[in-house]
């Protein structure tokens, strides 16, 4: 159960969170405004409500987590979003990152492999009146070919390598942000697709995500 009331206290906690994100190096004002706008506590079980604006990850069921706000802000900032960018998100999860992308004026296509999580995220996104958000259930490591190409792609789970199929679904000049490493620690990677399908690769700090499961990710352990 969730609390869909946004009180003065919640708004104050978001302001404190924004100050913390600024102190950790998040400078993009559009990203900061989006995080200040989106009610993170809507996306969490009631027992986590008063901790929703701590800079921490929390479990959301199905062995998945809602990323800590700094991680959401960092990945979103790396995307260098432009108004009406068409963005593919791999791993809808709670829907919080989806909402933040949408609040940055992106048109978001998001894939989640767990149907229960996708349905719950859809309900919350509808409650906060997100527009231009499209959800699907499936193997996100294959991308969303029927909706490609995308200006930006964000992967919210740790991959063993960069799925080539995702790069292929980017426009020229498009950006893919993906954590790459083993199943416990990853480096954040930003790939920019240049002319002639060449790639510019930038590697950033360490993060820890749940594994990216799928045909072009980690295989599901039975």
Distance between CA atoms of residues 11 and 106, nearest Å: 23
Distance between CA atoms of residues 199 and 205, nearest Å: 20
Q: Closest Cα partner for 149 from 107, 116, 115? A: 107
The SS3 of residue 22 is: helix
- Rounded to 10 degrees, the C-alpha dihedral 133/138/140/146 comes to -70
| 82, 144, 177, 221 from 191: Cα distances, Å | 17, 18, 6, 29
Q: Closest Cα partner for 105 from 80, 124, 127? A: 80
Distance between CA atoms of residues 102 and 156, nearest Å: 15
Environment class of residue 220 by beta-carbon count within 10 Å: exposed (0-12), middle (13-18) or buried (19+)?
exposed
Distance between CA atoms of residues 206 and 146, nearest Å: 33
Q: Which of 23, 67, 146, 208 is catalytic?
A: 67
User: Cβ(175)–Cβ(80) under 8 Å?
Assistant: yes
208 tagged catalytic: no
Which residue matches tokens 């869909």? 4
**Annotated catalytic sites, by residue?**
67
């Amino acid at each position: 159960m969730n609390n869909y009331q946004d009180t003065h206290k919640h708004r104050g906690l978001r302001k404190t969170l924004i100050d913390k994100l600024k102190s950790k190096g998040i400078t993009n004002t559009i990203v900061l405004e989006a995080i200040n706008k989106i009610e993170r506590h809507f996306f969490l079980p009631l027992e986590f409500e008063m901790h929703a604006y701590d800079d921490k990850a929390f479990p959301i069921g199905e062995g998945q987590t809602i990323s800590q706000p700094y991680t959401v802000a960092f990945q979103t900032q790396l995307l260098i979003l432009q108004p009406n960018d068409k963005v593919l998100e791999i791993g809808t999860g709670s829907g919080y990152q989806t909402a933040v992308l949408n609040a940055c004026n992106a048109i978001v296509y998001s894939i989640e492999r767990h149907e229960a999580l996708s349905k719950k995220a859809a309900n919350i996104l509808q409650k906060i009146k997100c527009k231009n958000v499209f959800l699907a259930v499936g193997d996100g490591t294959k991308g969303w070919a029927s909706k490609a190409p995308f200006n930006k792609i964000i992967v919210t789970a740790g991959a063993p390598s960069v799925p080539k199929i995702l790069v292929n679904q980017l426009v020229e000049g498009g950006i893919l942000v993906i954590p790459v490493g083993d199943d416990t620690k990853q480096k954040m990677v930003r790939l920019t697709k240049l002319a002639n399908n060449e790639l510019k690769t930038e590697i950033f700090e360490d993060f820890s995500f749940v594994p990216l499961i799928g045909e072009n990710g980690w295989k599901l352990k039975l």
